Amino acid sequence: MRILVVEDEEGLAESLRRGLSADGHVVDVAHDGHRGLDLALAGGPYDVVLLDLMLPGPGGHAICTRMRAHGDTTPVLMLTAKDGEHDEAEGLDAGADDYLTKPFSFVVLAARIRALARRAGASGRGVLQAGDLVLDPRGRRCRRGDRDIELTARELGVLACLMEQPGRAVAKQDILDEVWDTPQHIDPNIVEVYVSSLRKKIDAPFGRRSILTVHGTGYRMAPDGG
């Protein structure tokens, strides 16, 4: 894979470059937000972007937001020393696909990268539809009516899980098992963050309620798209 690392801690950036290169990947590195943004928008295409949250110049959130505004759907793994649900939610709202808090294991990082790449390019699902909501997992495209909706790789995976079983309750753990690479180490409540993000994108702007909460279980997709 071709991977972009945007990290201002030069020691960590070099460690990531060496480790990822040893795994056979082609790695570009930027140490500040301006260079990172330039590479992300014009230096690609990349298979995955590793993006530090706190950077000189534009921060990780700003870079990710700019990427998505330009229609760039490259999977983004946010790296940060911050922790907590609000920081993670902020990263997801900016368009990040996953979130890893420092310090982290390189083994875990490598597994997250593989998972993001699989979800971005290897989905075998056909086109899914619920009313006027249409999802093409293979093409990573979503639309409601005639309006396109930009989704991150993880959001796409969660939505596909629900749309494959319209009208049926899908447990949070089942979504974790399907969409996350190491679900046994993740709090099932993280699914709530992604469902909240999906509702802001596929429902709220259209006055719909297509993803319904099933208390004590998880969520279900309204067969008619809400």
Q: What is the pLDDT of residue 121?
A: 55
Q: Are 48 and 74 in contact (CB under 8 A)?
A: yes
Helix H or strand E segment including 134: strand 133-136
Look at the pTM and tell me if it is higher than 0.75: no
- Which residues, given as ranges, of the chain have pLDDT below 70? 82-92, 118-125, 181-184
Per-residue pLDDT at 138: 74
Q: Which tens digits make up the pLDDT trace of 168-212? A: 899 998 898 888 766 667 788 889 999 999 999 999 999 999 999
51 contacts 76 by C-beta, under 8 angstroms:
yes
Of 5, 111, 89, 110, the C-alpha closest to 52 is 5
